[in-house]
Amino acid sequence: MNYDTLIPVIRRLAIEAGTKIMEIYNSDDFDVKVKSDDSPVTEADEAADALISAGLREAFPDVMLVTEEQAASHSTTGDTFLIVDPLDGTKEFIHRRGDFTVNIALVENGVPTRGVVYAPAKNRMFFTLADGSAVEETGSFDLETIGETTPIHVADSDNSALMVVASKSHRDQATDDYINKYSVKDSKSAGSSLKFCLVATGEADIYPRVGRTMEWDTAAGHAVLLGAGGAVVRFDDHTPLKYGKDGYANPFFIAYAPGVELKKA
């Protein structure tokens, strides 16, 4: 994969998808359906998926593509594949809370190596450059020209006063029990893959996820966090979270800045 070619394409597609999503988000009403797994899907999910899928297949016809909305058609993955969640945080979108993202990532040998996370309602965009380092872009998000970027890096964590970020829609007692193992200065809630990005920018030190996620939910945020010097490990044994698993389901995991002294489950 030529990263110099990849990054402008996934960035542009994320912006285009974000524009389409916001058109629907700002409309008076939109359709909401329920998928076979009882999760909601909107016309924005489907429109963004169609736009991103077409763009990626045109640009990278020989690279396998995995997307949430077409997951039923996927079987096994190869060593290299593109993985997309066209609208991560559908519940946030439905309730018009703004914490939703467009996620596009490249996975190589089980590791998400490049990715983009765009939160159109928050006007925040995070992505990896061709060299793998992570940045946040600010400005008008021009389709063809990358605007002003700021390198991002995880915090130099103080284990006596950690900042924790957790799911806005899925926080439960098991999550709180684990968080209580740490000395916490403050905690915040966020939706979608923004939680990875808050750790990547140093706005949080740790994000534990004790709940179901799929690879398309996490790959882009994971790539950004890796590019910012962070890590994502399994909750049970603290080994690196891998991709390309059968069924694309993730185990529980912890995303964190390396200075955090991880506690056992």
User: In this structure, how many other beta carbons lie within 10 angstroms of the beta carbon of residue 47?
Assistant: 17
pLDDT band at residue 96 under the 50/70/90 scheme: confident
User: What's the chain's average pLDDT?
Assistant: 92
Mean pLDDT of 134-138: 97
Write down the CATH number for the domain with range 3-151: 3.30.540.10
Ranges of each domain in the chain: 3-151, 162-256
Q: Could you tell me the sign of the dihedral formed by the alpha carbons of 188, 191, 244, 113, in that order?
A: negative
So what's the pLDDT on residue 36?
60
Report residue 49 as tokens. Answer: 């998926």
Burial status of residue 37 (CB atoms within 10 A of its CB: 0-12, 13-18, 19 or more): exposed
Which residue, chain included where needed, has tokens 């940045």?
135
Degrees, nearest 5: CA angle 74-56-140: 130
- Tens of pLDDT, residues 11-53: 999 999 999 999 999 987 777 777 666 676 789 999 999 999 9
Tens-digit pLDDT profile for residues 226-236: 999 999 999 99
Quick one: pLDDT band at residue 3, thresholds 50, 70, 90?
very high
pLDDT of residue 34: 72
pLDDT given at position 78? 77
Per-residue CA distances from 68 to 6, 81, 89 (Å) = 20, 14, 12
CATH number 3.40.190.80 is the correct assignment for the domain at 162-256: yes
Residue 99 confidence (pLDDT) above 60: yes
